[in-house]
Structure 1
């Protein structure tokens, strides 16, 4: 289950928002000027995302090292994970 609220609403209601994430598994998307800017999620969901990012990063490093050993390495472009503002 998920919901949306403005950042100013969440600021006034932070205790219940975090309780719903912690105990109810709910994701609350925080909006800024009507657009999703952040989310309050259960800690387990954030930890899983971090683990997945580590796996992806690790695979990219392995590929770069293999290419370097094989002498076929090319520059690896920087990939921005967050939208630029």
Structure 2
């Protein structure tokens, strides 16, 4: 279970980093300079974008996390399923 959580965390971090870099490149390419003058809107654009990226990733990885928890429960009921320890 720890491996599944670690993999989800690492993969989510990598995707958030890629999405943030994409947002920065799009900002420098497509958005005009008058947005940069208003620092509050500039900061809000990046915060709201990261928030929506995290919501997307949590919805995408929720079935995998539920499968991990269900397999852990069924392994306990079935005597470990051939494993001596559950880590």
TM-score range, shorter chain: 0.3 to 0.5
TM-score by length of 1: 0.38
Q: Which has the higher helix share?
A: 2
TM-score by length of 2: 0.38
Q: Which has the larger radius of gyration?
A: 2
Q: Which has the higher strand share?
A: 1
